[in-house]
Amino acid sequence: MNRYSPLALALVLVVLVAACTAAQPKRARQRRPRVDPITALERGCAGGAPGDCVALGLLLEDGDGVAVDRERAGVLFGRACAADDGGGCFHLGRHRRDGVGAAIDLAIAAEMFATGCRLGELRACTSHALALTHGRGVPADEAAGRTLMRETCDRGHPRACVNLGVGFEHGLGVEADARVAVQLYRRACDDGDPLGCLYLANLLETGAAQLHHALRLREEACAAHEAAGCTAAGRMYRDGVGVASDLEEAVRLFRAGCDGRDPDGCLGYLLALNAGDGIAQDVGTAARLALILCTSGHLASCQSIGYFYEAGEGVTRDEARAEGFYRRACDGDVSGGCSNLAELVAGRGDKLEAVRLVRRGCELGDARGCNAGGVFFVTGAWPGDRTEGAAMVQRACELARLADEVEDYCGDARRYR
């Protein structure tokens, strides 16, 4: 997912921080000064202990009991790396790769990862393998990258196993093999990598008998601060997939996902706010959050703010703005944006454009768009082939997830077959 401005989460985070602060006992908010441990690390680093330099650098990077100073953290990581500490090389490479405390320099990052790997730091080996595979700062060498990733996985680094699993799941440089992907994700999950649990859950969800297991894995990933796991579990609680529907739990999980900067979690939260599902309804706040997320680059939220402007809910009705937001979502392959835009342009008489858009929405997997467009084709309300329309209605039935969707869309599929 694209990264976006922290301002995109401001509305939700203010609510969460206020609630948590109010509930927290006063003594729990008081922190004891950490002068002694930090001073000890400074002395150890100055005395030639590279591990202390790394530990102090991480404190300075995160602001844990000390003022944030990421530039100095990078200097400390460099000092540790020069003293043959693989962890220092890894963290310095991460800084230069991500532009933390210094300008991005992929060549230096790749060099640091390679050095850290030679010193036995498995995290550096995984990062170096990715650099080789994708040509980030070094000439691309997919075979060498896959070999190093496999070796690092076998040596016990779970994130390397996750990366290998992604290759087998999607056929990236190897023949796709879901069975091998499941084995690698399960291995990573068992070794404590929440991303492995999340990806394993995504694969297991294809089998109905394993939905409950998929939910547990997503909850484990959420508990380990993998924000996308919180969001995915929230969807299951909201939709009653693999578990009885629990809208309040869904909202809690969406909040956790949003707090972890997953924009899809923020979207789930704002949709709950809009509908009053599991939380007090607040359409105005939902609309403002949708606008912030959309303008920050989260295209699914552009569909939502488009709806708010079309319906005049939480904002002043503005059909032109609604169309612009729907088009932005559709151009970004957000299926519902295409379907909503199709209905909007059809309402002003442009049925040929509506046909093109509803086909696009259905191709992208929007059940509602498939159903609406298919029914219009079959009944002759829009120009289109009846056989194509029947196929679209059948696809809507296959895509339906919620009980009312299954009843309505599959009923139409039987009616128009």
Helices (H), 224-350: 227-239, 247-259, 263-275, 283-295, 299-311, 319-331, 335-347
pLDDT in tens, 302-318: 999 999 999 999 999 99
Higher pLDDT, 25 or 125: 125
Q: What pLDDT shows up at residue 36?
A: 53
Q: What pLDDT shows up at residue 103?
A: 87
Q: What is the dihedral of CA 154, 155, 160, 161, to 10 degrees?
A: 30
Alpha carbons 19 and 120: distance in angstroms, whole number: 44
Residue 24, pLDDT above cutoff 70: no
Give the residue among 34, 56, 58, 30 at the shortest CA–CA distance from 43.
56
- DSSP secondary structure code for residue 7 in this structure: G
Residue 142, pLDDT above cutoff 50: yes
Q: What pLDDT shows up at residue 224?
A: 92
The CB density around residue 7, as the number of other CB atoms within 10 Å, is 12
Higher pLDDT, 37 or 317: 317
Give the residue among 141, 238, 229, 231 at the shortest CA–CA distance from 193.
229
Alpha carbons 164 and 145: distance in angstroms, whole number: 10
Percent pLDDT > 70 in the chain is 89
Q: Show the domains of the chain with their CATH numbers.
A: 44-155 (1.25.40.10), 162-255 (1.25.40.10), 333-417 (1.25.40.10)
Contacts 24+ apart (CB under 8 A), 148-151: 148/117, 151/125
Q: How confident is the model at residue 199 (pLDDT cuts 50, 70, 90)?
A: confident
Q: How confident is the model at residue 37 (pLDDT cuts 50, 70, 90)?
A: low
pLDDT (mean) for 325-346: 92
Q: What pLDDT shows up at residue 207?
A: 56
Alpha carbons 214 and 211: distance in angstroms, whole number: 5
Alpha carbons 167 and 172: distance in angstroms, whole number: 5
pLDDT in tens, 63-104: 767 788 999 999 999 999 999 999 999 999 999 998 888 888
Query: Dmax over Cα atoms in the chain, in whole Å?
Result: 82
Alpha carbons 374 and 13: distance in angstroms, whole number: 41
Q: What pLDDT shows up at residue 311?
A: 92
Helices (H), 312-416: 319-331, 335-347, 351-363, 367-379, 386-399, 403-415
Give the residue among 329, 307, 331 at the shortest CA–CA distance from 319.
307
pLDDT (mean) for 177-192: 89
Q: What pLDDT shows up at residue 402?
A: 66
Higher pLDDT, 38 or 319: 319
pLDDT (mean) for 328-345: 92
Higher pLDDT, 313 or 204: 313
pLDDT (mean) for 170-194: 87
Residue with tokens 């008998």: 209
Using a 10 angstrom Cβ sphere, with 0-12 exposed, 13-18 middle and 19 or more buried, the burial of residue 381 is: middle
Q: What pLDDT shows up at residue 205?
A: 67
Q: Do 60 and 100 touch, CB atoms closer than 8 A?
A: no
Q: What is the mean pLDDT of the chain?
A: 86
Residue 242, pLDDT above cutoff 90: no
Q: What pLDDT shows up at residue 51?
A: 93
Q: Do 350 and 320 touch, CB atoms closer than 8 A?
A: no
Tokens coding 119: 């010193």
